[in-house]
């Protein structure tokens, strides 16, 4: 089965998180499509990423098994303002498909009402106060139902491996962590 993931990007997203997610999922054999707000997205520290398609060109969530959202304060706010992405994510969530959000991106899940007060989540410490109406924890990676959240750039490898574990299997995540000389917990 061909597993497909969508990674939406906006100007100001955190590049380490975006690149680690994209790279690690592709290492696992997952087909990753980068959907940008523009053809070229300039990340928070000036790294430019080419989009495979524009967010507005996503026809539906049907073709994706997962939607994984990198953080970065400015990029997250820009994604929150994208009405088309909101519709895609709401449809994706209603199907019970995997959604991942790291760093500031869990605030998008709150804004789009994808999570509820019982949802167990984490985020970057800088946005914790915006998420205190949820079951907030400070674990590196938190999995709750179809949602995986994580803390920030420093936890992006663990986050990506958790996604791989869910979408493919644990053996592949262990192999990839060994291949990149990373000790998975």
The residue annotated as part of the active site, out of 30, 103, 108, 115, is 103
Q: Which residues pair with 6 in a beta bridge?
A: 33, 67
Q: Is the dihedral of CA 152, 157, 158, 164 positive or negative?
A: positive
To the query of whether residue 43 is one of the catalytic residues in this protein, the response is no
State the catalytic residues.
103
């Amino acid at each position: 089965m061909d597993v497909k993931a969508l990674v939406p990007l906006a100007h100001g997203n955190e590049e380490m998180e975006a690149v680690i997610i994209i790279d690690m999922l592709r290492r696992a054999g997952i087909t990753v499509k980068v959907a940008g707000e523009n053809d070229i997205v300039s990340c928070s520290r000036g790294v430019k990423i080419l989009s495979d398609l524009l967010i507005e060109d996503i026809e539906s969530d049907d073709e994706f098994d997962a939607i994984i959202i990198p953080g970065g304060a400015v990029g997250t706010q820009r994604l929150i303002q994208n009405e088309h992405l909101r519709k895609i994510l709401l449809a994706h969530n209603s199907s019970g498909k995997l959604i991942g959000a790291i760093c500031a991106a869990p605030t998008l899940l709150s804004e789009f009402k994808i999570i509820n007060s019982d949802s167990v989540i984490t985020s970057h410490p800088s946005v914790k106060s915006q998420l205190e109406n949820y079951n907030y924890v400070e674990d590196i990676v938190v999995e709750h139902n179809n949602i995986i959240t994580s803390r920030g750039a420093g936890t992006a490898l663990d986050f990506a491996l958790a996604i791989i574990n869910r979408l493919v299997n644990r053996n592949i995540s262990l192999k990839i962590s060994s291949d990149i000389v990373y000790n998975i917990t």
